[in-house]
Each structure stands twice: as C-alpha cells, then as structure tokens.
Amino acid sequence: MYLVESKGGAIACMLLALFFLGTWPAIMTLLERRGRLPQHTYLDYTLTNLLAAIVIALTFGEIGQSSPEQPNFIAQLSQDNWPSVLFAMAGGVVLSLGNLSTQYAWAFVGLSVTEVITASITVVIGTTLNYFLDDKINRAEILFPGVGCFLIAVCLGSAVHSSNAADNKAKLNKLRKAGYSSASKEATTNKELEDLENGNGTTEKAKAGTADFLVELENRRAIKVFGKSTFIGLAITFFAGVCFSLFSPAFNLATNDQWHTLKEGVPKLVVYTAFFYFSVSCFVLALVLNITFLYRPVLDLPRSSFKAYLNDWNGRGWAFLAGLLCGFGNGLQFMGGQAAGYAAADAVQALPLVSTFWGILLFGEYRRSSRRTYILLGSMLFMFIVAVAVLMASSGHRK
C-alpha cells in the first residue's frame, strides 16, 4: 500500500485535487446549459466516479507489502471493521446529497457563487471538526486565520453575486424598453435550437454578457430559472454546504477511529479501503435518487425514462470525464489529508478559484458587467488565494 509520507507530497496531492474538484462542476454546468437533463448527466457521472475509486484502490491500495497494522486493500475487505466502514459510507451519503444538490443550485445561483457558499460552510464547520478530530495537529494560530480569510472571501462573493445580478437585471430591462418582441424571440430561439441539434451552427450567437445572450441561454438550458426566486437556489446551496462540511470528518473518523469503535487488534481502515466504501455508498444513493428523478422530476424539469437515458449520448463523454475528475480529486484529497491532517486538506475548498476561472472562460460570467462587479470579483479571488495559502501553511504531520 502506497502512503503519502511527506508534507510536500501531501501539498502536491491537495493542489492537484484543487484543480480536479474545481473543474468537474464546470463540465456539469456546461452540459446543463446545453440542454442535457441533469438526471442523465449525473447517472453518467456517478459511474466513472465509482470507477475512479476502484482504480485507486486496486493500484495505490495494492502497492507494496501488506502488514498487520496497514493491510492492503483486498486483505482488509474481509476484516471485522464495520464501525469504520459505516463512517466511510455515511461520508459517501452526505457527499452524494451535496453534489446532487449543487447540480440544481448552479442553474439558479451560478457556478462561482454556489461554489463560494458551499466552500465557506465546509471550511467553517468541516475544518473546525477535523481540527479537533485530528488532535490539533494543525497549527491553530495559522489554521483559524485561514478560516477567517475564507469568510471574508464569502462576503465578497456574495457582493459579487448581488452586483452581477443587478447588472443582468439592468440589461434585461434595457432590452424590454427597446421593444424586444417575445414572438420574434421564440421563433429565433427555436431556429437556433434546431441548428444546434442538427450541428449546422449557421445562426449567429449572441455575444456573452449581453441581454440577448441571457435570453438565449434561458431558452436553451435544461433548468429554467427566469421568473423563479433565487432563494430556491440559495436554500439548495446552503443544504449542500452542510452536507459537504460533514463528509470529510466522517471519512476522518473512518480512517483514524478517534472514537475507538473498532475491536482490539483490528487495524484501522486504510485510506483506500475507506475511499472504496465511501464511493460505493455515494454511487448507490445517486443511482436510486436519479432514477427516481427520471420519472418524478423536480423543479419543473421534463419527465424522462431509463430508456431515454440510455439513448442519450449527447455529452455523455463529458459527463464521464466529470466523474473521473471528481473521483480522483476526492481520492487525492484524502491521501493528502491522511499525511498532513484533514483540516489542512480542506484547503481544496478553495476550488471556487478554479470554478470561477472556468465560469469566466467558458460561460462568459461577469462579461460586460459593471466596474464595481469587476473590483469585487478581483478582491474575492485574491482573498481565496490568501486563504488556500494560509490553510496549507497550517498543515502538520500525522504521527
């Protein structure tokens, strides 16, 4: 079994995890904006997410010699370690609920702000829990100022959202005053959708950040948001944040048995075995919920079926990639956390840095916004950079 034993290796794992975990939400958002049903996307995503855990367990979990204190992955599957297994599976359940919730929140609140809010809740609750579970191996004088930096960034992120929403509202009001015909809009949109489906691409696209772009996006996307309260998205986002804040402490308990639930002589779960059980429970819950949502959709989405899902190959490769990125990102986070402490590993919750980058590059978020929005956005990104640096600097070393 391969273990990350150095602080440098742990930080490398966290940085790579930061990129992976900040990129897969952008892919999922892209597919929803192209009109693919989120139930279809999530079913594809969850398959490769589980595959990533199996690959990690059968490679890193089987490297080297097995010992009684640190058995390899396969050797540990038959051991009497169910209390720790249940903690790992509980972590998978709350992560699955959080990921599923954010998939709907992205449409209402936006990629960047959703990630900022969920990350902040995770840091405030999850990092504090991990600090005490890890017997305070992280330096408190550095760790908690890092948490404070995240909170400042959250306030700035909320201000960015408020300012950008006001900008968009002003754009749409200007469009209405210009006498934008709803009938003409509908006819144009139908033609655009037909061209997109046929791959012709002959219709000129509206420029990102314009009112026409916002209207086209609403007509093309799977989850319709015009006329709906953003409080729906915020409620979903806060629920997801609480779920995210609990999955890392649950995994911490699974691998370190701080509550001494294992029988005497039974070795603690190695990170790869715990990650396997974690991912299995995540997969099972996602499968059950999304198949249910095919036939009983939420938020006024159209009904679908399992047959329709199987025949929907539009964007399937991207959904598979998102699952792999999330799976390997979580695995790297846990590998780094086992060496440096899970509180420091929560530095990957600075993933809004990456998500905001993709949001600006891919989706034109904040394009043609006001100067105030740009200043707030720059301040938020700067504070996140400071936060991740401080949180990583707090990392200790597990004995």
Classify burial at 210, counting beta carbons within 10 Å of its beta carbon; exposed 0-12, middle 13-18, buried 19 or more: middle
Q: How confident is the model at residue 196 (pLDDT cuts 50, 70, 90)?
A: very low
Name the pTM for this structure: 0.81
Report which of 341, 324, 344, 340 is spatially closest to residue 279, judged by C-alpha positions. Answer: 324
With pLDDT > 70 as the criterion, what percentage of the chain qualifies?
86
Contacts of 58 (CB under 8 A, 6+ apart): 73
| pLDDT band of 116, cuts 50, 70, 90 | confident
Residues 261-273 have pLDDT tens digits of 888 888 888 888 9
Separation of alpha carbons 378 and 221, rounded Å: 28
What is the residue type of 185? Answer: K
Would you state the structure tokens that stand for residue 179, as one six-digit string?
């006498």
Residue 197 is predicted with a pLDDT of 47
Confidence of residue 203 (pLDDT cuts 50, 70, 90): very low
Mean pLDDT, the chain, rounded, equals: 82
Highest mean pLDDT among 57-61, 114-118, 289-293: 289-293
Q: Name the most confidently modeled range: 18-27, 181-190, 330-339, 361-370.
A: 18-27
pLDDT band, residue 188 (cuts 50/70/90): very low
Residue 283 has pLDDT above 90, yes or no: yes
Average pLDDT of span 15-43: 92
**In this predicted model, what pLDDT tens digit does every residue of 72-87 receive, in sequence order?**
889 888 888 999 999 9
pLDDT of 69 strictly over 90: no
d(CA 210, CA 168): 8
Half-sphere exposure of 61 (CA within 13 A, CB side): 24
For residue 361, what are the contacts with CB-CB under 8 A and spacing of at least 6?
none
Which tens digit of pLDDT belongs to each residue from 226-281?
777 767 888 898 899 999 999 888 988 998 888 888 888 888 888 889 989 999 99
Give the N- to C-terminal CA distance of the chain in Å, as an integer.
Answer: 18
* Tokens coding 65: 């010699």
